[in-house]
Amino acid sequence: MFSQELITRLKKARSVVVLTGAGISAESGIPTFRGQEGLWKKYRAEELANVEAFHQNPHLVWEWYEYRRSIIQSKAPNPAHFALAHMEQYYTDFVVITQNVDGFHRAAGNRKVLEIHGNILRSRCVECHKIYNSKPYIMKDHLPQCECGGLLRPDVVWFGEALSEDLLKQSYQAAQSCEVFFSIGTSSIVQPAASFPVVAKNHGAYLVEINVETTPLSSIADEVLLGKVGEILPELVEKAELLDK
Ligand code: BJW
Ligand code: ZN
């Protein structure tokens, strides 16, 4: 299943970057955004994950986030997340850039994690920007409120919103300097994340995609590993002996 080229490059590399999307948490039981199971009630992610939807109907958007929080809090990282935690120990330089907001990479043990779309368990005041890591906030009209009286929102990045400049800079730097870049469980359509693998490839990285189906990235990948990441990654870690150096 894995080419000798990939095994050799992984054994020799010092610097590896991994970009993950919803597919890596699918085997933990977290629904992905797109495709059949991506619908919540009758809504698509694009209709709810934007600031206009929040201002028009904060109750609906909060209901969606509370529903997703409850799923995430009842689930755990899967073998794919743990395989990445092992890989981090093997390499001098190992960065996980994740579009996921579930916190599972840190929970699995990865330390260098760039959560570019935020974290669903945090909330943020729309007025004073105070961050709430847990729940001791006041509810008013069934909506969470900051101590300043402002409305709280999930601390995530919605469509049309800018990503953290610092995280973007770190992501591009990592993509530009790595030797192997993995794009895992993402549909590769949401920008700017979808551009990281392209940047890595243009800077000479060996580009590997892991997904259950092909994506717009597949045609430029050096290697496309089709299948469930929870099965493929642990097998790759074992085959390439990435457990101890
Ligand atoms: C498995 C598997 C298994 C399943 N094993 N695989 C340039 C061109 C066109 C548009 C734009 C552009 N630049 C910016 C935009 C606009 C927009 C955008 O990209 N739109 C596109 C949809 C066209 N981007 C933005 O607005 C971004 N902001 C920005 O660029 O700011 C600058 C700016 C501002 C204003 C004007 C102009 C520029 C922000 C994007 C924020 C995305 N936010 C969300 C919600 C986060 C919070 C939350 O979770 O609620 O992020 S949307 C949603 O999509 C979420 C995800 O992180 C993201 C990506 O989804 P992902 O991970 O790919 O999931 P799926 O479900 O799509 O795919 C799962 C994959 O897994 C599939 O491929 C399966 O096959 C696979 N899979 N099981 C392996 N077991
Ligand atoms: Zn406030």
pLDDT, tens digit, for every residue of 93-104?
A: 999 999 999 999
Total-model pTM: 0.97
List pLDDT tens digits, range 94-148: 999 999 999 999 999 999 999 999 999 999 999 999 999 977 678 888 899 999 9
Ligand 1 center–CA 190 separation, angstroms: 3
**Residues with beta carbon inside 6 Å of ligand 1?**
21-23, 26-27, 32-34, 38, 45, 49, 99, 101, 117, 156-162, 185-187, 189-192, 210-213, 215, 228-229
pLDDT tier, 200 (very low <50, low <70, confident <90, very high otherwise): very high
Residue 104 is encoded by which pair of tokens?
Answer: 């599972």
Q: Please give the pLDDT value at position 223.
A: 98
Residue 245 predicted with pLDDT over 80: no
Q: How many helices (H) and strands (E) does the chain have?
A: 10, 11
What is the CA 208 to chain-centroid distance, rounded? Answer: 16
Spatial strand order in the sheet of 180-184: 113-115, 93-98, 15-20, 180-184, 206-211, 223-226
Rounded distance, CA 208 to CA 157, Å? 26
What value does the CA radius of gyration of the chain take, rounded to a whole number of Å?
Answer: 19
Ligand 1 center to 189 CA (angstroms)? 6
| Residue 117 annotated as catalytic | yes
Catalytic residue among 81, 86, 105, 117: 117
Do 80 and 24 contact (CB within 8 A), yes or no? yes
Pocket test for ligand 1, best of 68, 72, 159 (most atoms within 8 A of CB): 159
User: CA-CA-CA-CA torsion for 63, 68, 74, 78, nearest 10 degrees?
Assistant: 180
Token pair 């570019």 in the structure block, residue: 116
**Of all protein residues, whose CA lies closest to atom 43 belonging to ligand 1?**
158
DSSP, collapsed to helix, strand or coil, labels residue 19 as strand
